[in-house]
């Protein structure tokens, strides 16, 4: 018996833009084309961090997260520009509009990449011809290069799109895994981070092929259920659908940022926390949500990273309330060693309109519980001359030029509003 619905082979595209921010700037100003270009958060200062760079710059060794001074040392003629996020949003909006003209089964992943299920369309046109048409449209209409992976599922499509850049077009079939996928280092596999790769290497797993053939029981011993999932991926098994509604699912809202230099300076730390909380508040307002737990992330000078969270008895969405709780976590868990990165996350989210205003009694109790924190804040105010938590000002004009981890997710709001 032939079940057509089950037997029909899916055709999935993963479209990944090449050096997106830099490419958008080159499309806006063609005189930049062919030159080594880096987009950095603060190019005028030595402490600026490279967000992305053109392929000409990458050929000289320039990498993402590198300090500007390091990048210029490797590439003396490097052009460095501040990011223009409104320009990138506009380009992303146009990009996904093109996708939606081919299929309704589009799942954005970030501002510059997304999946498309073209199974139905590919009945009338060859998948490679269709991918080439989309790639050329993006290049012709937006002047932006892209790479497209073509495969029977999301994982393989994602791996395929990364195999040839820029302007790559790669087909990855399951029967080709032994020759195309398995020889690759396991650390290059999508879903395998640095820590997981280290664990796998210690277990004698160096290639994706090693992972595909490893005893699953042994994998579960040191990776848990994730071991079986990764092995399935390595064998080309991935049944996840293309879900256009995935953009509506979010469980937390957070921001993190690397300090220009490792520091133990209270004022620098509090200033950054204030900035991060303000950005979290802005994003929560955009999503019209409130949260009932907060999390502080600290990365130390030696790259050790800790996360400490706190469940709350009340919902928060304002920067000053978020900061009060974050300050409490910092006081309890910072070991006073130099800090490299800080992050703030609000979780256990609910839509604001579904949360009724809390009773005055509970509000009073919460304020009483936080009295010690307010005393500590008063101490900081007297020390620095300004309360570092209350009166958080609108920093849109400043943060518009500063790259943070939230921007790649915030574009989803634009996409949702256009649907």
Calculate mean pLDDT across residues 51-63. Answer: 94
Q: List, for residues 109-142, the tens digit of each pLDDT value.
A: 888 999 999 999 988 899 999 999 999 999 999 9
Percent pLDDT > 90 in the chain is: 61
Which CA distances in Å does 35 have to 75, 87, 228?
A: 11, 20, 45
Whether residues 151 and 187 fall in one domain: no
Structural tokens at position 413: 């709001």
Residue 113 among the catalytic residues = yes
* The dihedral formed by the CA atoms of 357, 324, 393 and 92, expressed in degrees to the nearest 10: -80
Strand order in the sheet with 12-17: 106-110, 113-117, 12-17, 146-151, 169-171
The whole-model pTM stands at: 0.68
Calculate mean pLDDT across residues 80-105. Answer: 93
Domain boundary among 247, 265, 282: 247
Domain limits for position 214:
174-247
Q: List, for residues 216-230, the tens digit of each pLDDT value.
A: 999 998 888 889 999
Residue 245 has pLDDT above 90, yes or no: no
pLDDT band of 248, cuts 50, 70, 90: low
Indicate the helix (H) or strand (E) that contains 343.
strand 339-351
Whether residues 408 and 265 fall in one domain: yes
Domain boundary among 247, 264, 279: 247
Whether residues 280 and 227 fall in one domain: no
Q: What is the residue-wise DSSP string for 231-265?
A: HHHHTT---PPP-GGGGG--SEEEEEEEEEEEE--
Task: Say how far apart CA 135 and CA 129 lie, in whole Å.
Answer: 10
Calculate mean pLDDT across residues 198-224. Answer: 93
Whether residues 157 and 195 fall in one domain: no
* The dihedral formed by the CA atoms of 19, 411, 88 and 74, expressed in degrees to the nearest 10: -40
Domain boundary among 172, 206, 230: 172
Whether residues 133 and 216 fall in one domain: no
Whether residues 73 and 208 fall in one domain: no
Burial class for 366, CB neighbours closer than 10 Å (0-12, 13-18, 19+): middle
**Tokens 């030159």 belong to residue:** 35
Whether residues 264 and 209 fall in one domain: no
Calculate mean pLDDT across residues 140-161. Answer: 97
Whether residues 114 and 239 fall in one domain: no
CATH number of the domain residue 61 falls in: 3.30.70.270
CATH number of the domain residue 205 falls in: 1.10.150.20
How many degrees, rounded to 5, is the angle at CA 50 between CA 111 and CA 74?
A: 140
Residue 386 has pLDDT above 60, yes or no: no
* Helix (H/G/I), strand (E/B), else coil: 200: helix
Structural tokens at position 399: 């943060």
Structural tokens at position 258: 């690397």
Calculate mean pLDDT across residues 39-52. Answer: 74
Sequence-distant (6+) residues with CB within 8 A of 255 are 276, 279, 280, 283, 343, 344, 345, 404, 405, 406
pLDDT band of 412, cuts 50, 70, 90: low
User: Residue 357: its pLDDT value, please?
Assistant: 39
* The dihedral formed by the CA atoms of 153, 159, 163 and 165, expressed in degrees to the nearest 10: 90
From 113, 275, 281, 325, active-site residue: 113
Task: Say how far apart CA 21 and CA 90 lie, in whole Å.
Answer: 12
Closest CA to 95 of 155, 173, 13, 160: 13
Sequence-distant (6+) residues with CB within 8 A of 90 are none
Sequence-distant (6+) residues with CB within 8 A of 219 are 211, 227, 228, 230, 231
Calculate mean pLDDT across residues 24-36. Answer: 96
pLDDT band of 392, cuts 50, 70, 90: very low
Which residues contribute to the annotated binding site?
Answer: 16, 112
User: Residue 342: its pLDDT value, please?
Assistant: 95
Whether residues 236 and 154 fall in one domain: no
Which residues contribute to the annotated binding site for Mg(2+)?
Answer: 16, 112
pLDDT band of 413, cuts 50, 70, 90: low
Whether residues 257 and 377 fall in one domain: yes
Whether residues 22 and 157 fall in one domain: yes
Calculate mean pLDDT across residues 180-207. Answer: 94
CA atoms within 13 A on the CB side of 127: 22
CATH number of the domain residue 395 falls in: 3.30.1490.100
Residues recorded for the chain: 419
Whether residue 95 contacts residue 138, with contact meaning beta carbons closer than 8 Å, is answered with yes
* The dihedral formed by the CA atoms of 30, 34, 35 and 36, expressed in degrees to the nearest 10: 120
Calculate mean pLDDT across residues 67-86. Answer: 92
Question: For the chain, what is the domain count?
Answer: 3
Q: List, for residues 299-334, the tens digit of each pLDDT value.
A: 998 888 899 999 998 889 999 999 999 999 999 999
Whether residues 237 and 316 fall in one domain: no
Calculate mean pLDDT across residues 26-41. Answer: 94
* Helix (H/G/I), strand (E/B), else coil: 338: coil
| φ/ψ (deg, to 5) at 288 | 55, 55
Helices assigned H by DSSP within 143-254: 154-161, 194-202, 208-213, 216-223, 225-234
Q: List, for residues 249-297, the tens digit of each pLDDT value.
A: 667 889 999 888 899 999 999 999 999 999 999 988 887 888 989 999 9
User: Residue 359: its pLDDT value, please?
Assistant: 31
């Amino acid at each position: 018996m032939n079940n057509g619905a089950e037997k029909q082979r899916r055709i999935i595209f993963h479209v990944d833009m090449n050096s997106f921010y830099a490419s958008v700037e080159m499309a806006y100003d063609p005189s930049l084309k062919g030159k080594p270009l880096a987009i950095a958060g603060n190019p005028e200062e030595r402490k600026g961090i490279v967000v992305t760079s053109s392929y000409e710059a990458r050929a000289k060794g320039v990498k993402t997260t590198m300090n500007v001074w390091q990048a210029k040392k490797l590439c003396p003629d490097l052009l460095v520009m501040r990011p223009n996020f409104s320009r990138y949003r506009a380009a992303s909006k146009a990009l996904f509009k093109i996708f939606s003209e081919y299929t309704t089964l589009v799942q954005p992943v970030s501002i510059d990449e997304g999946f498309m299920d073209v199974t139905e369309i590919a009945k009338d046109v060859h998948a490679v011809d269709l991918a080439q048409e989309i790639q050329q449209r993006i290049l012709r209409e937006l002047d932006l290069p892209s790479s497209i992976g073509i495969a029977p599922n999301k994982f393989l499509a994602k791996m395929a799109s990364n195999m040839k850049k820029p302007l790559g077009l790669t087909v990855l079939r399951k029967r080709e895994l032994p020759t195309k996928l398995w020889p690759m280092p396991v650390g290059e596999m999508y879903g395998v981070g640095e820590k997981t790769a280290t664990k796998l290497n210690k277990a004698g797993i160096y290639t994706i092929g090693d992972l595909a053939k490893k005893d699953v029981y042994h994998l579960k011993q040191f990776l848990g259920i994730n071991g079986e999932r990764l092995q399935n991926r390595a064998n080309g098994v991935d049944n996840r659908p293309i879900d256009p509604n995935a953009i509506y699912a979010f469980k937390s809202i957070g921001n993190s940022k690397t300090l220009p230099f490792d520091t133990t300076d209270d004022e620098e730390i509090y200033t950054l926390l204030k900035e991060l909380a303000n950005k979290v508040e802005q994003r929560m307002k955009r999503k019209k949500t409130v949260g009932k737990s907060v999390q502080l992330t600290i990365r130390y000078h030696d790259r050790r990273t800790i996360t400490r969270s706190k469940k709350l008895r009340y919902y928060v969405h304002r920067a000053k309330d978020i900061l009060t709780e974050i300050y409490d976590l910092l006081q309890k868990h910072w070991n006073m060693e130099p800090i490299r990165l800080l992050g703030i996350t609000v979780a256990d989210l609910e839509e604001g309109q579904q949360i009724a205003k809390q009773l005055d009694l509970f509000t009073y109790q919460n304020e009483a519980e936080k009295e010690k924190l307010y005393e500590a804040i008063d101490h900081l105010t007297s020390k620095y001359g300004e309360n570092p938590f209350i009166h958080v000002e609108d920093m849109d004009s400043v943060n518009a030029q500063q790259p943070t981890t939230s921007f790649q997710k915030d574009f989803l709001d634009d996409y949702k509003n256009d649907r």
